[in-house]
């Protein structure tokens, strides 16, 4: 590897002789992070006191003995660690603003503001898993792929819900299909394929008995079959084991939430493993339902507070709001769901089931972009996973779930989506909150508390 790097820089040096210094500097923008701990996202042990060289959005070389090309800007990052930018496999955009929700918030400005917040918190790729308005979403996704936005963006266009059922959200009719029959489901999938959807999503849940009807088995089957005919994978929103079993049997590719009503039995775990099904626990979703009202210790930390709007802070400081959200059926349901979700995550981790990373951030105001992802990392630790595995899941695995081969690990040729933190998150996962800077498409921003 080191010899290859030397050879590579031989070429750069030759090029620099041909070009004038200024022209070379304009073509390239070499930056070297030196004396840094490299945690590459593969789950391997970090390399201490290393150098990472990148040029705009690409990593060029990593090693402690590389020749730096002319005009390289050197940033001494002694004491810091670099890891791949975090990747969210399950978020939403444009559904809310501060503490309000509604279709009127699906705007470019609002979505850009959310992507900026994701970047500040080190999340450099976001999968908006449904409820998108194609006319607004598609041009934004294109710009994001061109590196013009603070984070890269993928999406399920609208997704497949249920008439008079899931998802029970304040969204516009352009943001969801609610087919009544298998034929309508097929048409909806065809439309989404035509729009360029990255995945198809189905909502298979009765939201704790709060919606009158669930998706019918024939609609589930027709949706999955039609998506697979288009070579598009299907992510399923579920809560209960019974629904998870049904979508697994029908061929779903991604379980987009944890199973939260009971422990997953071994035969189902074996089936998930054999079929390489991805599982995104979304632990933070249920934590968020009560944590702000309960004033959990972390909610007062500056790192998390920096992601909250004035309106949100006013709400959580209101004793009446806190009382209402601490008590009752919804709070009890969320606490029980999280308790079971943590145990299922540990079981699946030990069984080597494919685990992804996502929180459902942005779906509603309690689920804060960036904040939710960092809480998710802490909750993976609470479930009993070691720090290096947690980072591996939130980077290389999360990229693999989305079938993205150009990111998720730090290696020459991969995207320079970089999260620089002080300390060593490979030993202490909470060090991932000490954000120094986040690089995406050749630009950096400081962490939320800087």
Q: In this complex, which beta carbon is closest to Zn ion, that of residue 111 or of residue 421?
A: 111
Helix H or strand E encompassing 156:
strand 152-156
Residue nearest to Zn ion as judged by C-beta position: 360
Give 199 or 363: the residue with its C-beta nearer to Zn ion.
363
- x/- map, 240-279, Zn ion, by CB under 5 A: ----------------------------------------
Taking the C-alpha atoms of residue 157 and residue 410, their distance in angstroms, rounded to an integer, is 30
Size of the site for Zn ion (CB under 5 A): 2
We find the least distance from the C-beta atom of residue 421 to Zn ion, in angstroms, to be 27
Secondary structure in 3-state letters for 355-407: ECCCCCECCCCCCCCCHHHHHHHHHHHHCCCCHHHHHHHHHHHHHHHCCCCCC
- Give the C-alpha distances (Å, rounded to integers) separating 284 from 86, 211, 221, 333, 374: 16, 23, 30, 14, 9
Per DSSP bridges, beta strands 123-129 and 152-156 are: parallel
Interface stretch with Zn ion, choices 313-321, 357-365, 403-411, 430-438 (CB under 5 A):
357-365
Q: Which residues pair with 95 in a beta bridge?
A: none
Minimal distance in Å, beta carbon 42 to Zn ion? 28
Contact 313, 368 (CB under 8 A): no
Which of these segments, 24-32, 177-185, 313-321, 356-364, binds Zn ion (CB under 5 A)?
356-364
Q: Least distance in Å: CB of 281 to Zn ion?
A: 13
Between 46 and 370, whose beta carbon lies closer to Zn ion?
A: 370
CB of 105 or CB of 303, closer to Zn ion: 105
Among 52-60, 145-153, 302-310, 354-362, the segment contacting Zn ion (CB under 5 A): 354-362
First CA to last CA distance, the chain? 36
Q: Is the Cβ of residue 112 or residue 237 nearer to Zn ion in the bound state?
A: 237
Nearer to Zn ion, 132 or 441 (CB): 132
CB of 199 to Zn ion, least distance (A): 12
- Minimum separation from the CB atom of position 129 to Zn ion (A): 5
Quote the least distance from Cβ 360 to Zn ion, whole Å. Answer: 4
- Span of 79-87, 243-251, 361-369, 414-422 interacting with Zn ion by CB under 5 A: 361-369
| Burial of residue 108 (number of CB atoms within 10 Å: 0-12, 13-18, 19+) | middle
Shortest distance in whole angstroms from residue 34 CB to Zn ion: 40
How many helices and strands in the chain, by DSSP H and E? 16, 18
- With binding defined as CB under 5 A, does residue 57 bind Zn ion? no
Residue 101 to residues 65, 104, 138: CA-CA distances in angstroms?
A: 52, 8, 21
Residue 260 CB, nearest distance to Zn ion (Å)?
14
Residue 327: DSSP 8-state: S
Compute how many other C-beta atoms are within 10 angstroms of the C-beta atom of residue 65: 11
Q: Which is nearer to Zn ion, 284 or 426 (CB)?
A: 284
| Residues in 278-307 that interact with Zn ion by CB under 5 A | none
Q: What are the strands, taking DSSP E only, across 229-377?
A: 234-237, 254-255, 278-279, 354-355
Shortest distance, position 327 Cβ to Zn ion, whole Å? 25
Cα–Cα distance, 15 to 24 (Å, whole number): 8
DSSP tag of 203: E
Q: Of the two residues 165 and 425, which places its CB atom closer to Zn ion in the complex?
A: 165
Per CB under 5 A, the segment of 140-148, 213-221, 355-363, 372-380 that binds Zn ion is 355-363
- Rounded CA separation 74/66 (Å): 13
Residue placing its CB nearer to Zn ion in the complex, 153 or 420: 153
Choose between 61 and 363: whose C-beta lies nearer to Zn ion.
363
Binding mask 76-95 for Zn ion (x = CB under 5 A): --------------------
Stretch near Zn ion under the rule CB under 5 A, chosen from 54-62, 103-111, 210-218, 353-361: 353-361
Q: Is 360 in the site for Zn ion (CB under 5 A)?
A: yes
State the minimum distance, in angstroms, from the CB of residue 94 to Zn ion: 13
- For 245-276, b/e burial (b = at least 16 CB within 10 A) is bbbbebbbbbbbbbbbbeebeeebbeebeeee
- CB closer to Zn ion, 91 vs 315: 91
3-state secondary structure of 193: helix
Q: Are 417 and 86 in contact (CB under 8 A)?
A: no
Report the interface residues with Zn ion, using CB under 5 A.
Answer: 360, 363
């Amino acid at each position: 590897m080191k010899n290859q790097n030397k050879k590579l820089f031989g070429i750069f040096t030759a090029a620099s002789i041909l070009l004038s210094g200024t022209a070379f500097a304009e073509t390239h923008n070499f930056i070297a992070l030196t004396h840094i701990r490299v945690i590459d996202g593969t789950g391997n042990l970090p390399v201490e006191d290393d150098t990472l060289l990148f040029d705009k959005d690409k990593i060029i070389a990593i090693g402690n003995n590389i020749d730096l090309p002319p005009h390289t800007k050197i940033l001494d990052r002694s004491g810091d660690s670099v890891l791949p930018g975090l990747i969210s496999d399950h978020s939403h955009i444009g559904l809310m603003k501060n503490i309000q929700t509604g279709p009127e918030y699906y705007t470019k400005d609002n979505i850009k503001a959310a992507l900026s917040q994701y970047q500040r918190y080190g999340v450099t790729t976001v999968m908006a898993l449904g409820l998108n308005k194609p006319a607004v979403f598609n041009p934004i996704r294109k710009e994001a792929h061109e590196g013009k936005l603070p984070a890269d963006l993928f999406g399920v266009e609208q997704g497949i819900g249920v008439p008079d059922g899931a998802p029970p959200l304040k969204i516009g009719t352009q943001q969801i299909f609610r087919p009544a029959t298998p034929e309508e489901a097929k048409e909806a999938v065809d439309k989404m394929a035509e729009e360029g959807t990255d995945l198809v999503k189905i909502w298979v849940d009765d939201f704790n008995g709060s919606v009158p009807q669930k998706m019918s088995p024939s609609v589930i089957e027709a949706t999955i079959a039609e998506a697979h005919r288009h070579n598009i994978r299907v992510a399923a929103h579920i809560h209960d084991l019974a629904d998870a079993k049904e979508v697994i049997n029908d061929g779903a590719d991604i379980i987009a939430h944890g199973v939260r009503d009971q422990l997953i039995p071994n035969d189902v775990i074996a089936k998930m493993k054999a079929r390489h099904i991805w599982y995104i626990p979304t632990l933070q979703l249920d934590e968020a339902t009560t944590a702000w009202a309960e004033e959990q210790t972390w909610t007062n930390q500056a790192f998390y507070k920096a992601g909250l709007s004035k309106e949100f802070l006013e709400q959580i400081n209101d004793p009446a709001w806190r009382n209402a959200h601490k008590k009752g059926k919804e709070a009890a349901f969320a606490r029980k769901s999280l308790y079971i979700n943590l145990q299922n995550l540990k079981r699946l981790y030990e069984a080597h089931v494919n685990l992804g990373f996502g929180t459902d951030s942005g779906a509603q105001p309690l689920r804060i972009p960036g904040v939710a992802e960092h809480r998710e990392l802490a909750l993976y630790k609470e479930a009993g996973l070691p720090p290096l595995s947690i980072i591996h899941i939130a980077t290389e695995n999360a990229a693999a779930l989305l079938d993205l081969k150009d990111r998720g690990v730090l290696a020459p040729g991969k995207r320079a989506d970089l999260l620089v933190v002080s300390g060593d998150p490979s030993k202490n996962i909470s060090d991932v909150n000490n954000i120094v800077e986040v690089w995406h498409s050749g630009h950096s921003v400081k962490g939320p508390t800087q």
